[in-house]
Amino acid sequence: MNLIRRRRGNLLLHKELRQRLATEYRYAATKMQESPDASKKLFYFSVFFGEAQRVLNWQWVRDIALIHMVTRQVHAQITHTDPSPAPVLPIKWATVFEHLTQTASDLATYMEKTGNEDSEEELCQILGRFAEIAYLVSGNGSYLYEKGIIKL
């Protein structure tokens, strides 16, 4: 198997596994973009942590474990925050799903790179945006959004 290596020579991921993630992530991100329904967007978003977990069964890579944990937590946070009592949380759910979809597409683009031009900083930026989206739908995150401290 061909290996993708970071600039410093550290093993990142087998080329075939990275391609698998790239293909699945792009498909899911495209389906998220095409769907107007929030529950469908979340359904397709689950591909991000599900596929990462499958890849970890073949090769342990810390970055993939991080992608798995962050995307799974984002999904859980959004799933467990009921948007039906909308007046309680001042967030705009359409905005949440718009940013979730864009960030999912950014992660798909990151995985589509050959591995030579990827960077830990870029991955941290993407995962940080996911964390921000998840935090936004929490009580305190919603409060900070209302105060204008968190801006998407």
pLDDT tens series, the chain, 152 aa: 454 544 444 447 899 999 999 999 999 999 999 999 999 999 999 999 999 999 999 999 999 999 999 999 999 999 987 655 555 566 788 889 999 999 999 999 999 986 555 578 899 999 999 999 999 988 888 889 889 898 88
Q: Which of 132, 101, 119 is nearest to 63 (CA)?
A: 119
CB proximity list for 86: less than 8 A, separation 6 or greater? 93
Of 116, 127, 125, nearest to 48 (Cα)? 127
pTM, entire model = 0.85
